[in-house]
Homo-oligomer: A and B are copies of this chain.
């Protein structure tokens, strides 16, 4: 039952409608790739004197074991993975996952019949840790930046106390985990490329998909179908918000407000292919946009160009922020708080493109470059643009099809026909 035949090794020639060339990608994580990820993590663990790392979060479990499921949406059952200092990960999981974890990159798979409210696998977990080869007694866990522990805190507290009683100490492994995930492999990049291709092809068709008079809810529904038809596996993150002159919210769900002449709409979408996200946005105007919006967009476009020019190994995340802020002549602050981020198994990943982030770029990192700027007439309205790039050995390669120089205009069909009456 240890072969990953079902999950892996299918090379797809993935043809997207009107895309220049197909993106080939392998679906599922090969045992070789998973072994390399775990080995890389184990090097980091040795450097930080960790005897094991304890994982509970969806993205981390996927990354190190290949277990891929939407079932994390159900809050009832926790899933525990222990990555030892050497050897295969151990899974301590509900019986319902036995079949799936038997095919994942794991050694032992220990199960309990969850839900078992009085003991959701904590006994099994403690038993694994009691047999763990002990050197430092330091157990890494998801305690820090951009991570959360996906289990009951009452259980986590008890588990942590029991480890302490047995001479083990829980320490933060978030830095090691996030660094392990930061540089993407060729197969990871190919999936993100496929996701970006699907979104680029979809964005090209937006002007013929949405019309004045549609509600944001209707537009959002049509756009999700469009992205799926272009090859996205999932449309978990599709923001569709509009407002007169421009929008003031870029994170809310769509509303029943109808798209009107004079609106500018932001579509900010994170589609997935085989679990990997692509995250970039596009702006659409219902009828010609206001001059101040065009001017703001032009500044953002130039700022992105300035960012792209400096992206290469050795530059820092803060440098990308700085050149964009300088290009737009703004001080490093504002509502959004950053101008981009890494992307991968999660919609946004560490680190941020932020003035405080001194981390250096390296080949294989995938970044969303996302400058934003308030418009002169204010009232909380702004414009955001976004592109996705891979850092290469010598510079960058765009995964998103570069946004048009000017905001795309959706023809105001309803008002046109009104004026004809």
Query: A residues near B, CB below 8 A?
Result: 6-7, 10, 12, 27-28, 68-71, 73-76, 94-100, 113-117, 141-154, 156, 172, 174, 217, 220-221, 224-225, 228-229, 233-239, 248-253, 255-257, 270, 274-275, 333-338, 341, 346-350, 352, 354, 356, 380
Q: Evaluate contact between B153 and A100: CB separation under 8 angstroms.
A: no
Tell which of B27, B114, B148, B251 touches A71, judged by Cβ atoms closer than 8 Å: B251
Docked Cα-Cα span, A193 to B99, in Å, equals: 33
* Listed A/B pairs (9) with beta-carbon separation below 8 Å: A69-B252, A96-B337, A97-B251, A113-B333, A115-B354, A149-B153, A152-B174, A154-B172, A224-B234
What distance in Å separates the Cβ of A22 from its nearest Cβ neighbour in chain B? 16
Report, nearest first, the 4 A-B pairs whose CB atoms are least far apart: A10-B256, A71-B251, A74-B348, A143-B153
Known: A12-B256, A28-B256, A141-B153. 12 other contacts (CB 8 A): A6-B256, A7-B255, A70-B251, A73-B237, A75-B146, A95-B334, A95-B335, A113-B333, A143-B154, A148-B150, A154-B172, A253-B275
What distance in Å separates the Cβ of A232 from its nearest Cβ neighbour in chain B? 8
Docked Cα-Cα span, A7 to B248, in Å, equals: 15
Docked Cα-Cα span, A12 to B95, in Å, equals: 42
What distance in Å separates the Cβ of A43 from its nearest Cβ neighbour in chain B? 24
Docked Cα-Cα span, A98 to B348, in Å, equals: 20
Assembly of this chain: how many copies?
Answer: 2
Given contacts A113-B333, A250-B96, contact A70 B237 (CB under 8 A): yes
Q: Evaluate contact between A257 and B98: CB separation under 8 angstroms.
A: no
Q: Evaluate contact between A27 and B228: CB separation under 8 angstroms.
A: no
Tell which of B27, B97, B142, B270 touches A153, judged by Cβ atoms closer than 8 Å: B142
* Nearest opposing residue in chain B for A113, CB measure: B337
Contact residues in B for A228 (Cβ distance below 8 Å): 221, 224-225, 228
* Nearest opposing residue in chain B for A337, CB measure: B113
* Nearest opposing residue in chain B for A73, CB measure: B347
Contact residues in B for A27 (Cβ distance below 8 Å): 217, 255-256
Q: Evaluate contact between B147 and A115: CB separation under 8 angstroms.
A: no
Tell which of B96, B154, B257, B356 touches A6, judged by Cβ atoms closer than 8 Å: B257
Q: Evaluate contact between B146 and A149: CB separation under 8 angstroms.
A: no
What distance in Å separates the Cβ of A187 from its nearest Cβ neighbour in chain B? 14
Tell which of B95, B147, B253, B352 touches A337, judged by Cβ atoms closer than 8 Å: B95
Docked Cα-Cα span, A41 to B387, in Å, equals: 43
Tell which of B70, B94, B238, B337 touches A114, judged by Cβ atoms closer than 8 Å: B337
Given contacts A69-B253, A221-B233, A347-B73, contact A117 B99 (CB under 8 A): no
Docked Cα-Cα span, A113 to B336, in Å, equals: 8
What distance in Å separates the Cβ of A233 from its nearest Cβ neighbour in chain B? 7
* Nearest opposing residue in chain B for A152, CB measure: B144
* Nearest opposing residue in chain B for A156, CB measure: B153
Q: Evaluate contact between B249 and A117: CB separation under 8 angstroms.
A: no
Q: Evaluate contact between B253 and A99: CB separation under 8 angstroms.
A: no
Q: Evaluate contact between A251 and B76: CB separation under 8 angstroms.
A: no
Q: Evaluate contact between B74 and A347: CB separation under 8 angstroms.
A: yes
Given contacts A217-B27, A256-B27, contact A251 B100 (CB under 8 A): yes
